[in-house]
Protein backbone atom coordinates (compact mmCIF):
# COMPACT_ATOMS: atom_id res chain seq x y z
CA UNK A 1 0.00 0.00 0.00
CA UNK A 2 1.14 3.48 -0.80
CA UNK A 3 -0.54 6.75 0.14
CA UNK A 4 0.22 9.92 -1.79
CA UNK A 5 -1.05 13.20 -0.41
CA UNK A 6 -1.68 16.59 -1.93
CA UNK A 7 -3.21 19.64 -0.32
CA UNK A 8 -5.95 21.31 -2.33
CA UNK A 9 -7.45 24.66 -1.33
CA UNK A 10 -10.64 22.95 -0.29
CA UNK A 11 -9.47 19.58 0.99
CA UNK A 12 -6.69 17.12 1.62
CA UNK A 13 -6.52 14.52 -1.17
CA UNK A 14 -5.07 11.10 -0.31
CA UNK A 15 -4.56 8.63 -3.15
CA UNK A 16 -4.18 4.99 -2.08
CA UNK A 17 -2.44 2.48 -4.31
CA UNK A 18 -2.31 -1.31 -3.98
CA UNK A 19 -3.92 -3.18 -1.18
CA UNK A 20 -5.33 -2.39 2.26
CA UNK A 21 -5.55 -5.39 4.55
CA UNK A 22 -5.12 -6.24 8.22
CA UNK A 23 -1.34 -6.02 7.91
CA UNK A 24 -1.27 -2.36 6.88
CA UNK A 25 -4.62 -0.88 7.96
CA UNK A 26 -3.04 0.56 11.12
CA UNK A 27 -0.53 2.42 8.94
CA UNK A 28 -3.40 3.87 6.92
CA UNK A 29 -5.27 4.87 10.10
CA UNK A 30 -2.19 6.61 11.49
CA UNK A 31 -1.66 8.50 8.22
CA UNK A 32 -5.30 9.57 7.99
CA UNK A 33 -5.23 10.63 11.65
CA UNK A 34 -2.27 12.89 10.89
CA UNK A 35 -3.97 14.34 7.83
CA UNK A 36 -7.14 15.18 9.73
CA UNK A 37 -5.57 16.50 12.93
CA UNK A 38 -5.05 19.97 11.50
CA UNK A 39 -7.54 22.52 10.25
CA UNK A 40 -8.70 20.46 7.28
CA UNK A 41 -12.14 19.00 7.75
CA UNK A 42 -12.53 17.40 4.33
CA UNK A 43 -10.57 14.32 3.31
CA UNK A 44 -10.86 13.13 -0.29
CA UNK A 45 -9.72 9.53 -0.65
CA UNK A 46 -8.91 8.53 -4.21
CA UNK A 47 -9.20 4.73 -4.59
CA UNK A 48 -8.88 4.38 -8.35
CA UNK A 49 -5.61 2.45 -7.98
CA UNK A 50 -6.70 0.46 -4.95
CA UNK A 51 -7.23 -3.21 -5.86
CA UNK A 52 -8.14 -4.78 -2.54
CA UNK A 53 -9.72 -3.68 0.72
CA UNK A 54 -10.81 -5.88 3.60
CA UNK A 55 -12.90 -5.06 6.66
CA UNK A 56 -9.73 -3.74 8.32
CA UNK A 57 -9.64 -0.93 5.72
CA UNK A 58 -13.36 -0.24 5.97
CA UNK A 59 -12.95 0.08 9.72
CA UNK A 60 -10.35 2.84 9.22
CA UNK A 61 -12.63 4.74 6.84
CA UNK A 62 -15.43 4.51 9.42
CA UNK A 63 -13.26 5.61 12.36
CA UNK A 64 -11.89 8.64 10.51
CA UNK A 65 -15.27 9.66 9.14
CA UNK A 66 -16.86 9.45 12.61
CA UNK A 67 -14.09 11.74 13.85
CA UNK A 68 -14.62 14.21 11.01
CA UNK A 69 -18.41 14.19 11.35
CA UNK A 70 -18.09 15.34 14.97
CA UNK A 71 -16.55 18.58 13.74
CA UNK A 72 -18.79 18.94 10.68
CA UNK A 73 -16.19 17.48 8.33
CA UNK A 74 -16.51 14.67 5.82
CA UNK A 75 -14.76 11.96 3.82
CA UNK A 76 -15.40 11.90 0.08
CA UNK A 77 -14.48 8.78 -1.89
CA UNK A 78 -13.28 8.70 -5.49
CA UNK A 79 -12.84 6.04 -8.18
CA UNK A 80 -14.06 2.85 -6.53
CA UNK A 81 -13.87 -0.11 -8.89
CA UNK A 82 -13.72 -3.88 -9.10
CA UNK A 83 -13.60 -5.78 -5.84
CA UNK A 84 -13.19 -2.57 -3.81
CA UNK A 85 -16.48 -1.25 -5.18
CA UNK A 86 -18.11 -4.60 -4.46
CA UNK A 87 -16.89 -4.59 -0.84
CA UNK A 88 -18.35 -1.11 -0.34
CA UNK A 89 -21.68 -2.27 -1.79
CA UNK A 90 -21.87 -5.45 0.33
CA UNK A 91 -21.09 -3.56 3.52
CA UNK A 92 -23.63 -0.82 2.73
CA UNK A 93 -20.86 1.79 2.78
CA UNK A 94 -21.84 2.89 -0.72
CA UNK A 95 -25.06 4.32 0.70
CA UNK A 96 -23.52 6.26 3.61
CA UNK A 97 -20.56 7.84 1.81
CA UNK A 98 -20.44 10.33 -1.03
CA UNK A 99 -18.72 8.59 -3.94
CA UNK A 100 -17.44 10.35 -7.06
CA UNK A 101 -15.93 9.21 -10.34
CA UNK A 102 -13.13 11.81 -10.31
CA UNK A 103 -11.22 14.01 -7.87
CA UNK A 104 -12.48 17.08 -9.75
CA UNK A 105 -16.08 16.05 -9.18
CA UNK A 106 -15.40 15.45 -5.48
CA UNK A 107 -13.66 18.80 -5.02
CA UNK A 108 -16.44 20.60 -6.88
CA UNK A 109 -18.83 19.19 -4.29
CA UNK A 110 -16.91 20.71 -1.36
Partner 1 sequence: MDIGNSLFFQPVLIQIKPWRRSGKERKNIKTNHFLGIYQEVLPVKVQKPAKIDNLAALIEPVSAFAKELGFSGKRITQIELILEEALVNICEHAYEGKDGVAIVEVGENSENGLFIRVVDHGIPFNLLAFQEKKSTDPIAERKIGGLGILLLKHFTDNLHYIREDNKNILTLFVTSPKEGLSKEDNAPYRKFG
* Distance, CA of 58 to CA of 42 (rounded, Å): 18
Query: What residues between 1 and 60 interact with partner 1 by CB under 8 A?
Result: 19, 21-23, 51-52, 54-56, 58-59
For residue 98, state whether it binds partner 1 (rule: CB under 8 A). no
Residue positions counted in the chain = 110
Supply the minimum distance, in Å, between the C-beta of residue 66 and partner 1: 6
Phi, psi of 94 (to 5 degrees): -65, -20
Closest CA to 78 of 107, 102, 94, 57: 102
For residue 99, state whether it binds partner 1 (rule: CB under 8 A). no
Closer CB to partner 1, 7 or 23, in the complex: 23
Residues 6+ apart with CB under 8 A from 19: 1, 50, 51, 52, 53
Cross-strand bridge partners of residue 74:
42
Interface residue with partner 1 among 5, 96, 108, 110 (CB under 8 A) is 96
- Residue numbers at the binding site for partner 1 (CB under 8 A): 19, 21-23, 51-52, 54-56, 58-59, 62-63, 65-66, 69, 82-83, 87, 90-92, 95-97
Amino acid sequence: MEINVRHDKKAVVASITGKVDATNAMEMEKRFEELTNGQGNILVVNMKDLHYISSAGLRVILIISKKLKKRKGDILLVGLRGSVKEVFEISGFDSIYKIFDTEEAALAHV
